[in-house]
Every structure is written in C-alpha cells, then in structure tokens.
Structure 1
Amino acid sequence: MIKLFSALLFSVLISSTAFAAEYSDGNGYTTIKNPVRTSDPSKVEVTEIFWYGCPHCYTLEPLVNAWKKDMASDIDFKYLPAVFGRGWLAHAKAFHIADLLGIESELRADLFNAIHVERRNLNSEDALADFFANYGVSENEFRKQYDSFAVNSRLSQADAKIRAYGARGVPGIIVNGKYLVSAQTANGNENIFNVVNFLVEKERQN
C-alpha cells in the first residue's frame, strides 16, 4: 500500500512538473520587459488587444466568449483596441464611444459580423454613425463623441499601454500586465487560452 501511494505521489509530482514546464518565456508567451500596472491589484487582469477589422480577431472571438463565460471571479477581463494603421482609428473610436455609452457588449458581435460576414465598409465616421443609429444613438450624439476629449484621452491611454506591452500586432492577450500571448507564441489561436490559463494560475500563486 505504501509503495502504491509513493508511486501515485511520484506520478502526480511528475505531472505537475511537466505542466509547470509546459510553457516558458519564448515558448507559449513572451515576458513584458517592464510590467505595466493593472487597474485592480486584487485581481488577475486579462486584456485582449484587438481590431474590429482584423480577421484573426474575428475568428478568435468565439474562443474569447467561451473563455469569458467560465472565467473565475478573480479575473478582470478588458478589451483594448489598437491603432496600428490609419484605417484602424475609426474602429478604435467606435469601441470607445460604445464603451462610454454602455453598449459595446451589445453591438460587438454585430459589428464584427457587419465587417467580416456582410463585408460592409465601416471605416468612416459617417458609416459608423449610421451603424450606431441601430442601437439608439443619434447621429448628433455619435458625432459629438467621435472627436470628444473623453474618446481622444482613451485613445492616448490605449496607445501608451500597447507600446508599453511591446505588442506589434493583433490579436494579443496580456496577462496581468506581465505576459503577452499571441497565436504565434501559443502556436495557434486554439491554444491561446491554454497558455492564458497557465499564466493566470502562475499569477495566482505569486
């Protein structure tokens, strides 16, 4: 009996060690050189850097939603729109406007579908004003927000964070301001949240 228990314990220790060594800096994720402070130190912050116009972000969206559905209460999930090109600015503004108005979760899937399934051109203020009208946002209200101080401040803050993370593409997942996970580091979209879960547990233990 003692031998059996010892064998089982040894097996568990080996399995735990194998899991712990499964991912490391450069294998699954990259460590951010200078960690970025999170908004709530009592939680593990997980942030997706994205662009509505990105086809890879669109295909990752169901995986993000499935993961969020079962995420623990000690996780603080956020979205962060990137502006890596001139055509990305309108979509970043759309996110911040929707977030400020409290309707981003309502229109997110529809906006992704309009761009990637319906192939609608929603890269301009005019086109987005028409789109937001479907959610009870008047043209006047949308245009007032589009170049508002609040939206421009959020754009600047997001840009500063993304540069601090060292992110150069989308989608990217930042775990607790310390680690960057992408399809490239994780070897495919389908493995991204395996790495994220590993890093979340790592941060819990810290």
Structure 2
Amino acid sequence: MSYASLLSRTFASLVLGCMSLLFLMPAQAQTAKPRYLVLEPAQPSDTPGKSEVLEFFAYSCNHCAAIEPLIEKWRPSLPDNVVFRAVPVAFNASMVDLQKLYYSLESLNRLDLHPKVFKTIHDERKRIFDAKSIIAWAADQGIDRAQFESTFNSFGVQAKVNRANELTKAYKIDGTPTFGVNGKYVVSPSMTGDYQSALDEVSRLLKTPK
C-alpha cells in the first residue's frame, strides 16, 4: 500500500470518530427533544470546590474546528469559579497521537497553538496525524524539536492521555464536540440544535445547584 493510500485511510478513520451532527429542522424543533443528558452516575470533579466544564474534542473533527472560535469568545464570560478543561478523545488507536499533541502543547505552555492545529488540519488540509508529522509540524511552529519530542513521549503526557481516556469512558462520550458540566450533565450541539445554543445551555446548567 502506498504512503498516500495509508494517509487517506487514516484520515477516513479519524473523521469517522467525529460525530455527524444532525441539526434540527424547523418542523423537528416542535418536538420535546432533551437539550442535555443527566449523567449517571455523576462524576467527581478533578478541581474540588470549583465548577467544571469539560470539552471533549478531537482535532480531526470538523465540528470541533467549527465551534472552536465560538468557545474562544465564550470562555471569558464564564464566572471566576468555573474551570474549563479541554479533553482530547481517541475513538480508535489512530487518534492517540493527536491526544499527545494537545497535552504536549499544554505541557510546554504553547496552547496558543491550539487553534492553529485545527487550521492546519481543516483549512490547510495537512494530515498531521502521526508522531513523525506532528513533531515536524511543532518544529515548524518554532518549538525546539528535541524538547517537543521528549515531551510528546514523556510519562507525564501519557498519564494525561490515560486520564482523558478514563473521562471519555466515564462521561459515555461517543461523539465530539460534547461538554460535561459539573460531572452531572452532558451537552452537545446535536442535542441543542447548533453550536452557540450548546454553549448557552452549558452556561445555563452552570447556574443550577450542584
């Protein structure tokens, strides 16, 4: 199999991991479709004493790329007692290196490049899905190659990936983007009808008693 064919198959596999959002048509809007799900059992927060919002996302997901600018505008409106955490998910083995990419950027205090990853994959159509291409991309962004590679393969990053996988399972995530609120609620654009209404629903749920 050629390298190009392998990349094509990898890309197809990654895209399948992204939820296919079915937005509500006007006629369907009349139905009493739940705007959120109650998580059972409720999950403890990793930040005790704070309200918590988890964004389950995948860099390969076009809906995650589309909602990212809205999240960047919405986050500053969250109250001071709310902790927002992005959680990269892997629905199959080919997505693990993208989880490591996020946590490597986080560990190196380079999450300013987080939106750039979406742009690279979805706008520039570059398939930075495996370790080799990811490390090369990071070096192109001005990050020291050796430092990034060491971080990418570190125990600390792997531990964060393991925790992300635990959260994905605990919150019963089967598509992205999806939001967990205070360990009790799950919200996604497919439930609310569009991207902004999902964020509005998260804001509303944050005001409910814990």
TM-score (norm 1): 0.82
Query: What pairs up with 1:161-200 in 2 under 5 angstroms?
Result: 161-200=167-206
| Amino acid corresponding to residue 156 of structure 2 in structure 1 | A
Query: How many corresponding residue pairs?
Result: 179
SS class of match (2:48) = coil
Partner of residue 16, structure 1: none
Q: Distance in 2 between matches of 1:45 and 1:61?
A: 18
Aligned counterpart in structure 1 of residue 150 of structure 2, from 139, 144, 147: 144
Q: Distance in 1 between matches of 2:178 and 2:164?
A: 14
Query: What pairs up with 1:54-93 in 2 under 5 angstroms?
Result: 54-93=61-100
The answer to whether structure 1 residue 101 and structure 2 residue 101 are counterparts is no
SS class of match (1:167) = coil
RMSD after superposition: 1.6
TM-score (norm 2): 0.80
Q: Distance in 2 between matches of 1:54 and 1:87?
A: 13
SS class of match (1:47) = strand
After superposition, give the CA deviation of every residue in 1:9-61 in whole Å (9 maximum; x if it has no partner).
xxxxxxxxxxxxxxxx9611001111111122322101100011110001111
After superposition, give the CA deviation of every residue in 1:140-185 in whole Å (9 maximum; x if it has no partner).
2222222221111111111011100111111001101111101122
The answer to whether structure 1 residue 29 and structure 2 residue 52 are counterparts is no
Q: Distance in 2 between matches of 1:113 and 1:31?
A: 33
Q: Which runs of 5+ in 1 are unaligned?
A: 1-24
Aligned counterpart in structure 2 of residue 52 of structure 1, from 53, 59, 65: 59
Percentage of identical aligned residues: 26
Aligned counterpart in structure 2 of residue 113 of structure 1, from 119, 132, 157: 119
| Amino acid corresponding to residue 112 of structure 1 in structure 2 | F
| Amino acid corresponding to residue 121 of structure 1 in structure 2 | R
| Amino acid corresponding to residue 123 of structure 1 in structure 2 | F
| Amino acid corresponding to residue 151 of structure 1 in structure 2 | V
Shift of 1:90: 1.4
| Amino acid corresponding to residue 193 of structure 2 in structure 1 | N
Partner of residue 159, structure 1: 165
Q: Which runs of 5+ in 2 are unaligned?
A: 1-31
Shift of 1:103: 0.6
> Is the CA contact (8 Å cut-off) linking 2:107 and 2:151 kept in structure 1?
no
